[in-house]
Amino acid sequence: MPEISLPLQQSKGELCVGINEEKNIFEFMDIKRIVPNISSDKMEESKKFYTDFLGLNIVMDMEWILTFASASNPTAQLSIVKKVKPNVADSDITISIEVNDIDNLYAKAIALGYKIPYPITNESWGVRRFFVKDPNGVIINLMYHLPSLKKQ
């Protein structure tokens, strides 16, 4: 197989996560969505602003996090995270990225030596996730919805 440098893209939204030399193919991971997270101590005001003013729907309300989505484009989302929720490694989690292969991405992050402030975990609300620190010190929440708990 020829020498190549990663990351490669197969098509928009797909990132090469490795090379399967046995099958002589590149393995790609699909990025499902990227959601900005806003840290706030004004949850009720935020709820009114994003629903009443912008017309977004509340798709998740767990008291410490609100996620809003567009009715016409449900992957267009943003989340408001209550400031009293403890931050990990002195950084707000400002981006959540949903992927289709969380376990391979976790192994890749470890192999590449990236700092993992929160190890891979199955959460009670139906996601498998871990946090990784990017080169700018930003904590990224990488997550996958567990199949048994996905909405039908």
Domain range annotation of the chain: 32-149
Q: Which fold is adopted by the domain 32-149? A: 2,3-Dihydroxybiphenyl 1,2-Dioxygenase; domain 1 (3.10.180)
CB 109 within 8 A of CB 130: yes
With CA atoms as reference, report the closest residue to 40 among 5, 84, 9.
84
Instruction: Write out the chain's pLDDT in tens, 152 residues.
Output: 344 444 444 444 455 555 555 654 456 678 988 999 988 889 999 999 999 988 999 999 999 999 999 999 999 999 998 987 555 555 567 899 999 999 999 999 999 999 999 999 999 989 999 999 987 788 899 999 998 754 54
With CA atoms as reference, report the closest residue to 73 among 126, 99, 30, 35.
35
Strands 118-122 and 65-69 come out as unpaired
CB 67 within 8 A of CB 35: yes
What pTM was computed for the model?
Answer: 0.67
